[in-house]
Structure 1
């Protein structure tokens, strides 16, 4: 379990677009699937992939994010620069408040989120959809083991204690990313294209 303590920076404005939050356990491949979908939808001006602000180096690997110090994060949070923020795994995460402007213009915003912060996302965004990326325990363990931070036994014990489900009253679609990137990435892109069609209708 993470040391997540969700925080809401300030009340969200009335939204006309759709906020889509992608969540899932470490090793599920959220960043990879989002990159796949972003490449496929690169010509669609209606879709925006939010760039998170995180208290880790921008060169740390993984998702393309804005790395800041904790002091800078706290300053920006107090200034109202985030519509949603939370803590997990000893880091602070923030979604820029600028996404509210995009939602007001009817755009679809996709953000890498956290299951622990979903209540805050729901409070901030009137129209919220959740995409839960999962994978089998063996696949998650193999991916996490390749990072070299824990032994396979430690990872398996941790996975046995955790749940892949999203708890709460949310509009959730689950994608199993245990197989090929092409299959899972297409599933995510198809979901987003379906949402685009609804917004255009």
Structure 2
């Protein structure tokens, strides 16, 4: 989690700010730490650079993790998934993504939230277009870990912070974001 992104967080329960206890960090990131709510005292954790607010104890079975990694390596990194689309579908997809990006403020100080990020197929295509800070949010720790792996491999992790949380109870202060995007996050409102 980028150090500057910590300032954007709020307790998902009571909306108060956090006290940060850092266990391990680099110059720009908190690798491991604790976030203690200043009001209700709830504890949340930063594990391996991912701020965890939801389902961070749930892990996918080993075979599911293997399958997810295999998809990342074989499909996502080399963009082979594009071959599954016809030229017409791909043209429509690019138009859809451009439409999503059209209102985005692209200045260096803009803060962008992409929620229901998944393993980063849409995010990958907007990282170079967004000049400011990006926060990616998804509700599964394994998915967030795979997103981190993916972004590191495509050299897109530098300006991204990853948050594991339920999009219905986002752990952010009001008015933080200049831009918000979600590709397929709004059409999947029922989450388990």
- Whether these two folds match at TM > 0.5 is no
- Which fold has the larger relative contact order, with Cα–Cα distance below 8 Å and residues 6 or more apart in sequence? 1
TM-score, normalised relative to structure 2? 0.32
TM-score, normalized by length of structure 1?
0.31
